[in-house]
Structures are given as structure tokens and as C-alpha cells.
Chain A
Amino acid sequence: MIEFLRRLFGQSGSSATAKERLRLVLMTDHLELAPEMIEKLKADLVDVISRHVEVDRDRIEVNFERQDTALALLANIPIISVNRPNGNGRHGNGSNGGAPVEPVSETAPAGAVVEDAVAVEAPAPKKKAAADATPPVRKRRRRKKHAAASAAAAPTPT
């Protein structure tokens, strides 16, 4: 009876919940199945961040965490030193020229470690009208991209 009333007042049935749960659970499954992708992502992240600050490569932690409605990328990247700003106040992106920073010695003071967490929200589920018009033939790749987009890294075949 409750179900009937729910439907009468336009509440969606349980399939919407099912779809949302599946979407998230499969993203998590795919990440669990692609450890090499996470390694690559970690390397790429470090390269980008190293252009601006010096980080402790050995102590970087990158994790994906399932939250109730999204998948989050949590990165903990200890920073060893911050590059001196240039005369004009901008970060000297020429200082490293994008080259990987040498791993720094163990003597880095613990006090210098700054915890930094980046949360990337998974794309919100969208009810796209176009999906119904698309032919049923779909490439597997699409979904891969979906999971990878939230991680900001190139997809690696599992």
C-alpha cells in the first residue's frame, strides 16, 4: 500500500536506487581491479604538483573512497618546500621545467609536512534523454572513461 501511494505521488521506484548503487559499486570495482592505473595517476599528480612545490614522493598516499553518493579521490601529498615566488609574484613554473623532482632525503622535518586532501566528486548521475535514442550498441570504453574522469587520469586497460 505504501508502495502504491509512493507511486501515486510520483516517487520513483527502487530501480532508480538500484541504478545509482550499481554505478558507484562498479566504479569502485573497476578501481580495485586497476591498481596500475592508480600508480600512473599518482605519478601524474606528483608531476603536476611538483611544478609548484617540492613534495615527498615516498610518502604520497592516493586513495579512492566511496561516500554515500559519490566516489572521492583522496590524496595525501606531504610538501617539503614551497618554491620561492618570482619577482613578479607568480610561481616560477620554469624552475623545474616539468622534470620530475628528485626524491628528497629522509631528513625532511616532520613539521614541514602539510596534509592536503583533494576531493573529486564523481559526475552526478544525470537522466539523459539522449540515452534512450542511442542504439543499444555501446562501446565498453565509455564507462571506463567515466570512472577515469573522476580520477583525472588516463584510462589503462584492465
Chain B
Amino acid sequence: MTPRKIVITSGKGGVGKTTTTANLGATLAKRGKRVILIDADIGLRNLDLVLGLEKRIVFDLVEVAEGRCQLRQALIKDKRFESLSILPAAQTREKDAITTEQFSAIVDLAATQADYVLIDCPAGIEHGFRNAVAGASEAIVVTTPEVSAIRDADRVVGKIAQDRKPIRLIVNRLRPEMVRSGDMLSVDDVCDVLSIELLGVVPDDEEVIDTTNRGEPIVLNDASRLKTIYDKIARRLEGEMVPFTSFDGTSLFGRLLDALKVG
């Protein structure tokens, strides 16, 4: 298959780009794909932390760009998976330490060694964003069901649409009980506003905080409900038709379940 170069972006920060990149990458790797994750957030890298690989960093993205090492020397293999590795960002450099051409060349090089190259985009729409998007041939926009996050996502969708790259949407941190009580925008509301293809819906799960603390992607936990969800997202990304899990049901049972979960 042609390797796929996908940027994971959002405009607004803190909506879960890095968590999505890590978990989607891990899921694809579990499904037997060769996956390279690139952290494009120069100066504020975090993908290494989320995957618990921070201690193994030797070289970084900028050093590869400057020709001070080979790409394969900078790639850190995640031993928990067959075929997942990450290219960390430089922490003590600026975003403009790397040009758009250099970044795209690295992504292309990575694509010769992988089925999927996922690019973890920095927040905002500045130089770092432009680099990350330029290197990709498709995009996943992550948003949360909040007014400000959606507005920023819309801005980013507008920018990416100029390049005619396919864009898909992940709605992250949905709280079904708040949707039911009418205090959170529903997935339909978000899709209505953004008008892009829905790739997945990930409910808010406090386990994510815990697993990030420990540097273990949540999909490593077989009992986690998010594992199933990321699995579905990965299958959709591969072109399978997978029905969406409904979070909007208003059954009495559902409400009782929510009531028990509150605490």
C-alpha cells in the first residue's frame, strides 16, 4: 500500500492531539502496520512523555534536519509493539529551527519505512502548524465538544481545505451524561457545524490521565473501553465501514448508569 502521511491537528491546544496520536499509532501498530510517529511540537514536546519513552531520546527531529544524524538513529522503537517508533521533537529549539521543506523531506523519508506516518501537530496556527500540515497528505482534526475548541477547529479546517487534503474528525472527551442533560454539544451538533467526515468519537475517560502519568498508552490495557474505540477508529482509517458507538441514548438505564458513575 502507499504509505499514508497523516497530520493530527486541532488549532486549540489541550484537546488531546498527542493522546490521539499515541493511541491511534499504537493501535495501528498492534494491527500489524509499520508506524512512525513524528512529534512536530518543537520546544514543547510531549509525545515521548505520553508513551513513556522520554529517557531513551538520543537525537531529535532538528538534528535529523540538520544532517547531524540519520533518521534511523533518531527513531526510538517502542518495544511494547512490533512496529511502532517515534521521532521526538527538539525541546530546546524554536519552531523555525526547521524549514517546511526540511520537515516534508523527513516525513517523506519516514514514509519509505512505514505504512503510517502520524504527525503530532503543535497547537496554534503558526510556523509549527504550517510545517506539520505541509508534510502530510491527509489530516485528522481533533476537537472537544466545546465552543472555543470547535471554533478553532473550524479555522484549521479552513486552512487545510485550501490544500485540498482529505480531513476527518475525531470528537474527543465527550461526556454523554452532559450531552443528555443538554449541557454539552452532541456529536451531531459538532458535525453539523464543522461539516467534515466523522472518524471517531472518544468519551472522556479519567483513566487517560492515569495512563499518561505512567507513560502507557491506554490501548495497552485490554480492559479499557477506549481500546475498543481506538480500534474502531483505526479500522475506519483503513477504509473499513464500522458502525459508530452510540453515546446519545436516553434510556432510563443509561441515565441510572450515569448517576452511578458520578462521583
Chain A directly contacts chain B within the complex, with at least one CB pair under 8 Å: yes
Cβ-defined contact, B193 with A7, below 8 A: no
The secondary structure that dominates the A interface is helix
The interface size of chain A toward B, counting residues with CB under 8 Å, comes to 28
Q: Which of B146, B147, B154, B191 contacts A29 (CB 8 A)?
A: B154
B150 interface contact, C-beta 8 A:
yes
Q: Please, which residue of chain B has its CB at the minimum distance from the CB of A146?
A: B195
Instruction: Report the separation of the CA atoms of residues A7 and B183 in the bound assembly, to the nearest whole angstrom.
Output: 10
In Å, the complex CA distance between A140 and B159 comes to 13
> Among the listed B158, B161, B183, which residue makes an inter-chain contact with A15, where contact means beta carbons less than 8 Å apart?
B183
Task: Find out whether the CB atom of B151 lies under 8 angstroms from the CB atom of A140.
Answer: no
The answer to whether A18 and B185 have CB atoms under 8 Å apart is yes
In the complex, A143 Cα to B157 Cα: how many Å? 12
With a CB–CB cut-off of 8 A, which chain B residues contact A33?
A: 158
A105 at the interface (CB under 8 A from B): no
Q: Scan B142-176; emit 1 where CB is below 8 A from any A CB, else 0.
A: 00001100110011011001100000000000000
Give the complex CA separation of A141 and B154 in angstroms.
Answer: 13
Interface residue from B147, B150, B151, B244 paired with A136 (Cβ < 8 Å): B244
Is B198 part of the binding interface, using a Cβ–Cβ cutoff of 8 Å? Answer: yes
CB distance from B239 to the nearest CB of A (A): 13
A124 within 8 A of B: no
* 27 A-B residue pairs with CB within 8 Å: A7-B181, A12-B182, A13-B181, A15-B179, A15-B183, A15-B189, A16-B182, A18-B185, A19-B193, A22-B185, A25-B147, A26-B151, A26-B193, A29-B151, A29-B155, A33-B158, A131-B192, A136-B244, A137-B197, A137-B198, A138-B192, A138-B197, A140-B157, A140-B161, A141-B195, A157-B162, A158-B162
Cβ-closest 5 pairs across A and B: A13-B182, A136-B198, A13-B183, A138-B195, A140-B195
Interface residues of B (CB under 8 A from A): 146-147, 150-151, 154-155, 157-158, 161-162, 179, 181-189, 191-193, 195-198, 244
Q: Given contacts A13-B181, A19-B189, could you give 4 more A-B pairs where the C-beta distance is less than 8 Å? A: A15-B183, A15-B189, A21-B147, A140-B161
